[in-house]
Amino acid sequence: MKDLHPFALIAALSATALVLVAASIGLSLAVLEALWPSDLWDVAGAFRAGFVATLAFGAIPAVLLGAPGYWLIWRSRRVTAPQACCIGAMLGASVGLIEPALAAWGIGCGAITAGLTHGAAVRWLGDDRRHNGRG
């Protein structure tokens, strides 16, 4: 039962990191649209498209697969930032199954989301690994 709190926090951190990455992607697309307008959409539409697409394509890999996987590794006390980013990149690559042209975008977003999640977990759960019954 005491493992439930760290797992819930890691899931929340993963979701928060995904929202931050989605906002960054939306903002990037909005800036690009402001600098080089297109006929596709306006600045707000570009932001919405980037934000929603990142959330839609990233929710399952980040929250439903990445958070439990990261938590399992976290419990073993062996997780490092590069490992977390690799897990995120591999899960992000799964968007390539839907649309191969988006694989690089998914890999980048996944790695950044996992890196942010790991950084926050180290900050807020640093001592919890000692109290999970493994050490």
Q: Is the dihedral of CA 86, 87, 89, 93 positive or negative?
A: positive
The residue range of the domain holding 64 is 4-131
Nearest C-alpha neighbor of 65 from the set 41, 31, 35, 90: 90
Amino acid residing at 123: R
Give how many domains the chain has, as a whole number: 1
CA 60 distance to own-chain centroid: 10
Nearest C-alpha neighbor of 120 from the set 24, 14, 18: 14
SS3 (DSSP) at 97: helix
Q: What is the pLDDT of residues 42-72, one digit of tens each?
A: 999 999 999 999 999 999 999 999 999 999 8
Model's pTM, two decimal places?
A: 0.87
Residue 112 has pLDDT above 90, yes or no: yes
Q: What is the mean pLDDT of the chain?
A: 90
Distance CA 126, CA 120 (A): 9
For the record, the structure tokens of 112 come out as: 């950044």
